[in-house]
């Protein structure tokens, strides 16, 4: 795993943790600790995404000005893994 | 409404095809205990839930199940890439292939199409939550 992949993985992990905290708060809406943790992860994730995009370009096609409609550009999420065969 | 994020909840990279396994994993896509049923179950039950916590959690888990559906679809797709006719026949995948080729069709492992008959929406919080516990506890046997 190179540095780019490592950073991407950390961002994903942060987003996963946020989603779990979000659902925990659905059934524990008065849990201030969980709410604080979620906010902390949000802030950290935003910083990591900034770091990633500064180094490697846009993470999300819609987050940058592109010369064409980049949303249609592959690979789509299910189209991974095959290239390693080559 | 929903907004699509162009990524999987967890990355999937399958290099080697395995159509026999794909046929079984289909069950988790469109079978009676699969992700499609889970998603429809939660997203349909949420309307008549009497408490805000329940409306929220069913909305969010129903959404997450759609993310799982996409991962399972990806697994089946990647397990059936670049198959030879011989691989298709030897794996017993021919009975799927004849109708769907390598398209991802919501059916169980025997090819029976997805049915909402595999889920319940009773409009009663206790009944529906019990149905969810039963459905989510249903194991897959391999």
End-to-end, the C-alpha distance of chain A in Å comes to 18
Q: Is residue B122 part of a domain?
A: yes
Nearest CA in chain B to A22: B60
- Distances, alpha carbon A84 to alpha carbons A31, A37, A81, B14, B15, in Å: 45, 38, 6, 10, 7
The whole-model pTM stands at 0.91
Cα–Cα distance measured from residue A78 to residue B102, given in angstroms and rounded to the nearest whole number: 14
Q: Which domain holds residue B59?
A: 27-137
Residue A81 with chain B: CB contacts under 8 Å: 12-15, 78
CA distance B52 to chain A (A): 8
Query: What is the number of structural domains in chain B?
Result: 1
- Residue B99 belongs to some domain of the structure: yes
In a domain, B78, yes or no: yes
Reported ipTM exceeds the 0.85 cut: yes
Range of the domain at A29: 1-56
Q: Is residue A72 a part of any domain in this protein?
A: no
Q: Which residue of B has its CA nearest to A28?
A: B53
Kindly state the tokens that stand for B120: 């319940």
* Partner B contacted by A66 (CB < 8 A): no
**Count of structural domains within chain A:** 1
- pLDDT confidence of residue A86: 40
pLDDT at B18: 97
Q: Are the CB atoms for B90 and B81 separated by under 8 Å? A: no
Task: Establish if B6 belongs to a structural domain.
Answer: no
Decide if pLDDT at A85 tops 70: no
Structural domain contains residue B83: yes
Higher pLDDT, B65 or A62: B65
Yes or no: say if B42 and B65 are a contact pair by the CB < 8 Å rule: yes
* Chain B residues touching residue A77 (CB < 8 angstroms): 6-8, 70, 74
B101 exposure class (CB count in 10 Å sphere: 0-12, 13-18, 19+): exposed
User: Is residue B11 in some structural domain?
Assistant: no
Q: State the sign of the Cα–Cα–Cα–Cα dihedral A26, A27, A31, A34.
A: negative
For A4-53, the pLDDT digits (tens) are 999 999 999 999 999 999 999 999 999 999 999 999 999 999 999 999 98
* Residue B61 contacts A, CB cutoff 8 Å: yes
Residue A66 lies in a domain: no
DSSP code of residue B58: H
Q: Is residue B9 included in any domain, yes or no?
A: no
In this structure, is residue B20 part of a structural domain? no
Assess if residue A6 is contained within a domain.
yes
Reported as a pLDDT band with limits 50, 70 and 90, residue A72 is: confident
pLDDT band at A66 (very low <50, low <70, confident <90, very high): low
pLDDT of residue A73: 82
Determine, yes or no, domain membership for A25: yes
Residue A52 forms part of a structural domain: yes
Say which CATH number the domain at B131 has.
1.20.1260.10
Among the partner-chain residues B8, B10, B60, the one whose CB lies closest to the CB of A26 is B60
Contact assignment for B15 to A84 by CB distance below 8 Å: yes
- Interface contact A29-B74, CB threshold 8 A: no
Whether A71 maps to a domain, the answer reads no
Q: Which residues of chain B have pLDDT under 50?
A: none
Query: Exposed, middle or buried by CB within 10 Å (0-12, 13-18, 19+), for B26?
Result: buried
Dist CA B76 CA B38 (whole Å): 18
A22: in domain: yes
pLDDT score for B126: 96
């Amino acid at each position: 795993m190179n540095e780019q992949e490592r950073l991407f993985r950390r961002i994903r992990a942060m987003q996963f943790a946020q989603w779990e905290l979000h659902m925990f708060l659905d059934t524990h809406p008065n849990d201030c600790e969980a709410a604080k943790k979620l906010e902390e992860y949000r802030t950290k994730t935003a910083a990591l995404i900034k770091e990633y995009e500064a180094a490697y370009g846009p993470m999300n096609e819609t987050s940058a000005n592109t010369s064409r409609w980049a949303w249609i550009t592959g690979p789509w999420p299910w189209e991974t893994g095959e290239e390693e065969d080559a | 409404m929903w907004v699509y994020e162009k990524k999987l909840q967890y990355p999937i990279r399958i290099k080697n095809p395995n159509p026999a396994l794909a046929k079984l994993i289909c069950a988790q896509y469109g079978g009676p205990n699969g992700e499609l049923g889970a998603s429809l179950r939660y997203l349909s039950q949420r309307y008549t839930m009497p408490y805000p916590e329940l409306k929220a959690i069913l909305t969010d888990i129903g959404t997450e199940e759609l993310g799982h559906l996409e991962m399972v679809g990806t697994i089946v797709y990647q397990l059936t890439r670049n198959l030879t006719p011989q691989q298709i026949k030897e794996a017993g995948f021919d009975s799927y292939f004849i109708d769907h080729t390598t398209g991802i069709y919501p059916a169980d492992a025997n090819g029976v199409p997805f049915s909402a008959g595999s889920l319940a929406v009773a409009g009663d919080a206790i009944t529906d939550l019990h149905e969810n516990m039963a459905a989510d506890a249903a194991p897959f046997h391999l």
